[in-house]
């Protein structure tokens, strides 16, 4: 059954641009159905894309490769890989925080809830968590100078709850996004979450994916590279309305180069927010309103191919409501609907109740009306967010693959205006003596031999000297939830030749080593020819 043939059950549908003075009326039953549809669609999408997540980097998932779905499938992934649902349980953590702290809670209050949640995080989320635990609060915790992952998609994949608590109220969604998104992101990474919050909010009052997309972009500054990337998808859709793969190729060709993420720069891995949001936009525009077709296209775009269909599925889930989603997609979800996610005491059912309470309160706060049977949602003007752009005059120019170790001291030279070390602290306890000897002699190569011990309280202190001056002391906890993702970085230095020396203050080389996978070098001048770093 194609969802594009279904009618949107609302008492008022804005088929064109909603006038600034307009009001949208929904029954309370429809409002709750849409909220549940958002949580349901998001979860369906993340499970649907689970087997393909980051397995297709810079490539499409070919049509010849089937993507599974069926009875028991959601519960299978729930039991097999609880961490797969990171975007859901991060959403729910914030929804619970607003419920307990109040709708006017501060960014600092939200940051503390987020930073001390008991589950695994990565990329911008973990970098933001580390900063908060070190006393660096938002917006500095998400700023690119303090967070190499600031342009990553982390806020994008956990901003769904914002639109669900601000139905049809994009200005309110952007205000909440501003408080949440700068915990872990800035610039394009922040805009990715603001965009998704806008998609969900618009989906309550629009019946066309194209209109939802247009309205979600209203608050994004057109000068930003994020806006320009998504706007290119709109333009390419008009040019190639029946060829999503051509649009995918043109977007990749222009925007498929990660600038910040140390795992992705000059490699095929790309977790950049604007590229993955573009894949969401491709799924929404080319899916023709059909739920299954839309999430399949978003998945087959590759890269973060579970979170992108989760966004698309959640937006369409709001547009249609949970009751209107086909049983084929809904039925496997029911097995976990009332179960609490890892590291939380919140389920999809409870999250839906949170969102409903928040939505009713925000409708009244914004001058709307709430009765026993319906709500009247005011449509207010959207103000464009301030312009933020990360990595200004900071271009990656060389990736120096090291596969090396810091035992007590380590130093290197480079030419440019910045560097970022990709590596991690490693615990040797529990490894056989022969294996530890191989590690000490650097005979392990690129093999991943030890993960951070979750309960290890050791904290490394490493001095970072730049051009003979102590620049920083890098604090590296061994404990996984407290870990620092990159040992050291420095941006916006004076362009030129630099020397970096790292000195381990409290080394214990028999138990701990610092792995240095690679070092990225930056310059105020983009690469135009072969670049020599020495």
Largest Cα–Cα separation, the chain: 74
- pLDDT, average across residues 474-479: 96
Rounded CA gap, 219 and 383, in Å? 6
- pLDDT, average across residues 459-487: 96
Q: pTM of the full predicted structure?
A: 0.91
pLDDT of residue 18: 45
Q: Would 3-378 and 395-523 be classified into the same CATH topology?
A: no
What class does CATH assign to 3-378? Answer: mainly alpha
pLDDT of residue 381: 94
Rounded CA gap, 366 and 31, in Å? 17
Least reliable range by pLDDT among 2-6, 79-83, 187-191, 485-489: 2-6
Among residues 390, 489, 533, the alpha carbon closest in space to that of 131 is found at: 489
Percent of the chain with pLDDT over 90: 83
CATH 2.60.120 fits 395-523, yes or no: yes
pLDDT of residue 192: 98
Least reliable range by pLDDT among 77-86, 165-174, 201-210, 443-452: 443-452
pLDDT of residue 343: 76
Interacting residues of 188 by C-beta distance below 8 A, sequence separation 6+: 151, 224, 225, 226, 272, 273, 274, 389, 390
Percent of the chain with pLDDT over 70: 90
Instruction: Give, in degrees to the nearest 5, the angle at Cα 260 between 128 and 139.
Output: 35
Asked if 106 and 138 count as a contact pair (C-beta separation under 8 A), the reply is: no
- pLDDT, average across residues 463-486: 96
Interacting residues of 471 by C-beta distance below 8 A, sequence separation 6+: 464, 465, 490
Phi, psi of 52 (to 5 degrees): -110, 0
| No. of helices (H) and no. of strands (E), the chain | 18, 11
Rounded CA gap, 399 and 396, in Å? 8
Interacting residues of 76 by C-beta distance below 8 A, sequence separation 6+: none
User: Model confidence over 408-438: pLDDT tens digits?
Assistant: 999 999 999 999 999 999 988 755 445 545 5
pLDDT of residue 431: 55
Statement: residue 254 has pLDDT above 60 = yes
Among residues 345, 349, 337, 353, the alpha carbon closest in space to that of 75 is found at: 337
Residue 18 DSSP code? P
Residue 91 in 3-state DSSP? helix
pLDDT of residue 357: 97
pLDDT of residue 10: 32
User: Model confidence over 1-60: pLDDT tens digits?
Assistant: 333 333 333 333 333 344 444 899 999 999 999 999 999 999 999 999 999 998 999 999
Statement: residue 447 has pLDDT above 50 = no
Interacting residues of 100 by C-beta distance below 8 A, sequence separation 6+: none
Rounded CA gap, 195 and 213, in Å? 9
Asked if 462 and 424 count as a contact pair (C-beta separation under 8 A), the reply is: no
- pLDDT, average across residues 261-289: 96
Among residues 169, 73, 214, the alpha carbon closest in space to that of 366 is found at: 169
pLDDT of residue 22: 85
Domain assignments of the chain as residue spans, ordered by start: 3-378, 395-523
Asked if 369 and 378 count as a contact pair (C-beta separation under 8 A), the reply is: no
């Amino acid at each position: 059954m194609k969802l594009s043939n279904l009618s949107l059950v609302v008492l008022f549908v804005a088929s064109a641009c909603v006038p600034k003075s307009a009001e949208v009326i929904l029954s309370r039953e429809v409002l709750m159905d849409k909220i549940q549809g958002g949580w349901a669609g998001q979860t369906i999408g993340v499970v649907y894309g689970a087997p393909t997540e980051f397995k297709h980097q810079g490539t499409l998932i070919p049509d010849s490769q089937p993507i599974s779905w069926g009875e028991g499938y959601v519960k299978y992934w729930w039991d097999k890989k609880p961490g797969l649902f990171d975007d859901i349980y991060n959403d729910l953590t914030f929804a619970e925080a607003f419920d307990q702290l109040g709708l006017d809670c501060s960014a600092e209050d939200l940051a503390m809830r987020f930073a001390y949640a008991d589950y695994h995080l990565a990329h911008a989320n973990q970098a933001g968590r580390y900063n908060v635990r070190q006393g660096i609060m938002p917006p500095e915790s998400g700023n690119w100078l303090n967070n190499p992952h600031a342009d990553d998609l982390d806020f994008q994949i956990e901003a769904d709850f914002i639109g669900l608590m601000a139905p049809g109220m994009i200005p309110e969604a952007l205000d909440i996004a501003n408080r949440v998104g700068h915990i872990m992101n800035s610039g394009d990474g922040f805009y990715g979450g603001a965009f998704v919050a806008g998609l969900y909010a618009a989906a309550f009052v629009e019946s066309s994916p194209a209109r939802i997309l247009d309205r979600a972009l209203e608050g994004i500054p057109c000068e930003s590279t994020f806006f320009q990337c998504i706007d290119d998808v709109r333009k390419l859709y008009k040019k190639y309305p029946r060829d999503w793969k051509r649009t995918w190729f043109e977007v990749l060709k222009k925007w498929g180069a990660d600038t910040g993420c140390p795992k992705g720069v000059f490699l095929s891995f790309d977790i950049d927010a604007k590229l993955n949001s573009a894949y969401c936009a491709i799924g929404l525009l080319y899916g023709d309103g059909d739920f299954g077709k839309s999430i399949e296209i978003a998945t087959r775009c590759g890269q973060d191919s579970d979170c992108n269909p989760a966004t698309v599925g959640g937006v369409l889930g709001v547009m249609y409501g949970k009751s209107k989603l086909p049983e084929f997609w809904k039925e496997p979800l029911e097995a976990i609907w009332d179960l609490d996610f890892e590291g939380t005491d919140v389920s999809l059912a409870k999250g839906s109740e949170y969102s409903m309470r928040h939505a009713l309160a925000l409708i009244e706060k914004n001058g709307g009306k709430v009765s026993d049977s319906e709500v009247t949602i005011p449509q207010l003007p959207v103000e464009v967010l301030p312009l933020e752009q990360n990595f200004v005059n900071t271009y990656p120019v060389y990736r120096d693959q090291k596969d090396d170790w810091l035992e007590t001291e380590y130093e290197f030279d480079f030419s440019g205006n910045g560097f970022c070390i990709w590596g991690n602290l490693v615990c040797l306890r529990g490894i056989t003596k022969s294996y530890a000897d191989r590690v000490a002699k650097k005979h392990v190569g690129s093999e991943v031999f030890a993960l951070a011990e979750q309960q290890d309280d050791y904290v490394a202190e490493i001095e970072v000297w730049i051009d003979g001056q102590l620049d920083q002391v890098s604090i590296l906890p061994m404990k996984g939830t407290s870990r620092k993702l990159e040992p050291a970085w420095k941006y916006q230095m004076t362009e030129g030749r630099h020397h970096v020396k790292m000195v381990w203050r409290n080394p214990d080389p028999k138990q701990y080593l610092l792995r240095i996978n690679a070092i990225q070098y930056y310059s105020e001048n983009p690469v135009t020819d072969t670049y020599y770093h020495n």
